[in-house]
Structure formats: C-alpha cells, structure tokens
C-alpha cells in the first residue's frame, strides 16, 4: 500500500519512522563511544599494571593486542551498523512515496545497506583512534619496560 504524502497523518507516520531510525543511529553512536572509553580504560590499566611488574617478568607488549583487537572489532561492528542505519535513513528520507512495507527493517534491508568490512576497518575514525592507542601502548611500554617489547 502506497502512502500519499499530502495527507498530514501519513506525513507524521513517516516522521515517526525517521525518528525511530534516528534513535537507532544515536544508540549506535553511543555504543561506539562506550567502546572507545573501554579501550582507553583497558589500555591505561594495562600500562599501569606493566609499570608495577618487575622488569624481568613475563609481561610483554603483545598482551596489549588481545584486548585491543577485541575493542577494535566491536568498534568496527558498531560503526558498520551505524553507517547501515544511516544509509537506510537517507534512502527513506529521500522517498516521496513509500509504503508500510518500506518501513520494515529486516536482514535483506540491512545487508544491502552494509558497507564492506575492509572499508569500515580502514575508515579514518577507526584508524586514527586505534592506531593512536597502539602508538601510546608501544611508547609507554618501551619507556616503562625498556626496549625489548616482544
């Protein structure tokens, strides 16, 4: 069933649908901020722990990589979801005439809106944030523990 946008009630339905999509996008952005906060907190805790360990202990730099990969993966996942919902939002807002079936968000609609993983992983926000964390970890580890990192 097609919706004619001249009817004010039907326009309100579209506005409510776009508002729902905007709430989902905001939630994904909040999850991304939570992942970044958790990444920084974990990195700080690991740096503090490595500083408290004796220099001859078995704590190595590669131990920073396990939580970093976990948080970077979740960051990429939520960024990919946010971008997919943004694509759905933009497509929906550009439609003049839409039906109630267009308001359904299912796997097919999400799969068609997803970006490739590589483009998300190599995106500027993800690279800048996580490469900065890796550089901080390496520099801190070298400063605290000495040159042998691996």
Asked whether residue 145 carries a pLDDT value surpassing 70, the answer given is: no
73: in domain: yes
Lowest mean pLDDT among 29-43, 90-104, 135-149: 135-149
The parent domain of residue 130 ranges over 2-145
Q: Report pTM.
A: 0.77
What is residue 143's predicted lDDT score, i.e. its pLDDT?
A: 74
In this prediction, residue 2 has a pLDDT band, given cuts at 50, 70 and 90, of low
Scored b (16 or more CB within 10 A) or e, 3-24 reads beeeeeeeeebbeebeeebeeb
For residue 140, is it within any domain?
Answer: yes
In this structure, is residue 94 part of a structural domain?
yes
* Mean pLDDT, the chain, whole residue set: 81
Number of domains forming the structure of the chain: 1
pLDDT for res 58? 65
Does residue 150 fall inside a structural domain?
Answer: no
């Amino acid at each position: 069933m097609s919706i004619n946008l001249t009817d004010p009630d039907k326009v309100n339905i579209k506005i409510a649908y776009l508002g729902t999509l905007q709430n989902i996008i905001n939630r994904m952005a909040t999850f991304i901020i939570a992942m970044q906060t958790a990444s920084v907190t974990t990195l700080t805790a690991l740096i503090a722990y490595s500083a408290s360990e004796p220099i001859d202990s078995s704590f190595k730099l590669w131990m920073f990589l396990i939580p970093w990969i976990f948080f970077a993966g979740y960051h990429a996942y939520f960024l990919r979801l946010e971008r997919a919902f943004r694509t759905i939002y933009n497509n929906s807002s550009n439609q003049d005439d839409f039906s109630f079936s267009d308001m359904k968000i299912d796997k097919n609609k999400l799969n068609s809106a997803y970006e490739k993983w590589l483009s998300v992983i190599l995106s500027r926000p993800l690279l800048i944030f996580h490469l900065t964390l890796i550089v901080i970890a390496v520099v801190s580890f070298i400063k605290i523990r000495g040159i042998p990192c691996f």
